């Protein structure tokens, strides 16, 4: 029986398009990507971080959803010859934790690592999100405490500043919600519901849920939590709501970080959001993110993750962040940053019989820091025409002797005798 497949997909070949959520980068796009990468990594390297590269694919076990907070359905999966599940790297922090806990076990701590690599996530189709995102980031492993937190945050700020002055940095604390939730008589399900309502700042639904509970200070604190974001005034607003010493200590710590960062001249860039409560993620202490105008998502995300290395059997405190390079590139492009593709200064043409000499001449130009193209056309006329079309200003005709002249006014500008 013939069955008509309405979508005809079995017949179609996809050899001229790229998968949804991916794209080719051309010329100026590559330049601006490389420029952003260079600016960021220059800061990382100057501050004493060392580059690592992890594989583009890893065993799925590295990204245990319970720990990573990355849902299995958004990972691109394959299997190896032995049927083990492999995923395309959906995150860089987990592989770096794996690397640090295994190959760098005996190294002097803290480890100061940086990376620039792509991550892959399978987003729902047609939402305009990229499945392939270039991230540049830093992990500072084996160091806890305020000095390490400030070092990571300062590196984050300095690296972003090397690209754009227009961003705001937001601080939060992953433990704050937990500390308040511990004081509530709620089930795990209710706790997750409250967390998700605070995450989406769904004030109304949160209030009606909390209305069902006895009015304790912890309930009132929870009610206020999604609104506790803004400037330094947030600390004063939150102080009376801390029902436990633990929460009060976290708040005080966050405030001291805020003050130190203000003293570094970040005052007007800083924001606080005590309602930052991501699901299942590995963060344990301070969390921070950067936002820029006209960019709907955070351009930088980071935080302290003191329990993650323990999952790889080498417990140690750690903090890190990653910059979404693609988002920064987009931002710079919108601000009019447009590096130009450079044109070679000279087109070198070898007359028949002098092809090798022309190549040697071209090597001479490049070895002295110049730029040139070697003509692949058969005749001098075609070569000159090509140079005019491409806007290459000079030509060098290599024959018995070498004649180099400017196309604009035909003046001889160099060349040497054979």
Partner 1 sequence: MKPLRIALTKGRLEKDTVALLDRIGYDCEAVRNKGRRLILPVGDRLEVVLAKAADVITYVEHGVCDMGVVGKDTIMEHGTSFYEVLDLGFGRCRFALAAPKGSDFWSGYSSRTIATKYPAVARAFFESRGMDVDIIKIEGSVELAPLLGLSDAIVDIVETGTTLRENGLEIVEEVCPISARLIVNVASMKLRKNEIESLIAQMEREKGGTARD
Q: With respect to partner 1, which residue has the nearer C-beta, 62 or 153?
A: 153
One of 43, 67, 94, 295 touching partner 1 (CB under 8 A) = 295
Of 54 and 278, nearer to partner 1 (C-beta) is 278
Q: CA 152 to CA 112: how far, in whole Å?
A: 10
Q: Verify binding: residue 336, partner 1, rule CB under 8 A.
A: no
Among residues 128, 265, 369, 391, the one that binds partner 1 under rule CB under 8 A = 128
Q: Is 285 exposed, middle or buried (0-12, 13-18, 19+ CB in 10 A)?
A: buried
The interface region with partner 1, picked from 200-208, 259-267, 348-356, 401-409 by CB under 8 A, is 200-208
User: Does residue 280 interact with partner 1 by CB under 8 A?
Assistant: no
Query: What DSSP character marks residue 351?
Result: P
Which two three-digit tokens encode residue 351? 């007359």
Residue ranges of E strands in 61-150: 77-79, 85-88, 111-120, 132-141
Q: How far apart are CA 239 and CA 254, in angstroms?
A: 12
Q: Which stretch binds partner 1 (CB under 8 A): 99-107, 246-254, 289-297, 383-391?
A: 289-297
Considering only residues 83, 212, 265, 296, which one is a binding residue for partner 1 as defined by CB under 8 A? 296
141/277 with CB nearer partner 1: 277
Residue 291 or 386 having the CB closest to partner 1: 291
Quick check: 118 and 135 in contact, CB under 8 A? yes
Nearest C-alpha neighbor of 54 from the set 96, 90, 22: 96
User: CA 186 to CA 222: how far, in whole Å?
Assistant: 12
Q: CA 285, CA 2: separation in Å to the nearest integer? A: 61
Q: For residues 5 and 15, what is the distance between their CA atoms, to the nearest angstrom? A: 21
The candidate with the shortest Cα–Cα distance to 276, out of 190, 191, 200, 187, is 200
> Of these, 214, 294, 313, 340, which contacts partner 1 (CB under 8 A)?
294
Q: How far apart are CA 177 and CA 222, in angstroms?
A: 8
Nearer to partner 1, 205 or 413 (CB): 205
Task: Pick between residue 201 and residue 390 the one whose CB is nearest to partner 1.
Answer: 201
Give least dist CB 326 to partner 1, A.
14
Cα torsion through 74, 327, 67, 202, rounded to 10: -90
Cα distance between residue 33 and residue 300, in whole Å: 16
Give CA–CA dist 417/405, Å, rounded.
14
Rank residues 169 and 250 by Cβ distance to partner 1 and give the closer one: 169
Show the site string, 212-251: x = touches partner 1 by CB under 8 A, - = not.
Answer: -----------------xx---------------------
Choose, by CB under 8 A, the member of 204, 263, 341, 376 that binds partner 1: 204
Burial of residue 409 (number of CB atoms within 10 Å: 0-12, 13-18, 19+): exposed
Q: Report the residue from 141, 271, 308, 316 that binds partner 1 according to the rule CB under 8 A.
A: 271
Q: Which is nearer to partner 1, 200 or 363 (CB)?
A: 200
- Report the alpha-carbon distance of residue 126 to residue 24 in Å, rounded: 17
Which range binds partner 1 by CB under 8 A, 147-155, 285-293, 303-311, 403-411? Answer: 285-293
Which of these ranges, 14-22, 26-34, 53-61, 207-215, lies near partner 1 under the rule CB under 8 A? 207-215
6 binds partner 1 (CB under 8 A): no
Positions that interact with partner 1 (CB under 8 A)? 127-128, 168, 170, 200-205, 207-209, 229-230, 271, 273, 291-298
């Amino acid at each position: 029986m013939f069955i008509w497949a309405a979508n005809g997909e079995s017949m179609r070949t996809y050899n001229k398009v790229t998968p949804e959520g991916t794209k080719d980068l051309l010329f100026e796009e590559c330049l601006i990507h490389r420029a952003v990468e260079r600016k960021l990594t220059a800061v990382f390297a100057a501050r004493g971080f060392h580059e690592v590269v992890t594989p583009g694919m890893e065993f799925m076990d590295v990204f245990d959803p319970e720990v990573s907070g990355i849902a299995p359905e958004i990972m691109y999966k394959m299997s190896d010859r032995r049927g083990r599940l492999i995923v395309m790297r959906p995150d860089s922090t987990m592989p770096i934790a794996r690397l640090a806990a295994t190959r760098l076990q005996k190294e002097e701590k803290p480890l100061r690592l940086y990376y620039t690599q792509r991550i892959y996530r399978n987003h729902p189709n047609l939402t305009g999100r990229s499945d392939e995102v270039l991230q540049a980031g830093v992990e500072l492993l084996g160091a806890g405490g305020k000095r390490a937190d400030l070092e990571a945050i300062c590196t984050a700020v300095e690296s972003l500043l090397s690209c754009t002055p227009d961003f705001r940095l937001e601080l939060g604390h992953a433990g704050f919600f937990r500390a308040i939730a511990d004081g509530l008589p709620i089930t795990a399900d209710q706790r997750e519901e409250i967390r998700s309502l605070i995450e989406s700042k769904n004030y109304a639904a949160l209030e009606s849920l909390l209305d069902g509970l006895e009015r304790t200070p912890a309930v009132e604190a929870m009610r206020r939590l999604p609104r506790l974001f803004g400037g330094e005034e947030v600390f004063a607003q939150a102080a009376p709501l801390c029902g436990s010493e633990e929460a009060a200590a976290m708040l005080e710590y966050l405030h001291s970080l805020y003050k130190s960062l203000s003293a570094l001249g970040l005052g007007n860039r800083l924001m606080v959001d005590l309602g930052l409560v991501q699901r299942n993620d590995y963060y344990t202490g301070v969390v921070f993110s950067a936002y820029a105008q006209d960019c709907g998502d955070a351009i930088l995300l980071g935080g302290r993750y003191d329990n993650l290395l323990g999952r790889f059997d080498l417990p140690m405190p750690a903090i890190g962040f990653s910059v979404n390079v693609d988002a920064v590139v987009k931002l710079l492009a919108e601000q009019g940053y447009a590096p130009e593709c450079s044109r070679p200064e000279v087109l070198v043409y070898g007359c028949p019989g002098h092809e090798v000499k022309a190549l040697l001449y071209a090597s001479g130009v490049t070895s002295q820091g110049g730029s040139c193209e070697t003509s692949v056309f058969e005749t001098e006329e075609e070569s000159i025409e090509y140079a005019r079309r491409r806007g290459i200003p000079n030509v060098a005709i290599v024959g018995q002797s070498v004649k180099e002249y400017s196309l604009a006014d035909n003046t001889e500008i160099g060349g040497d005798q054979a």
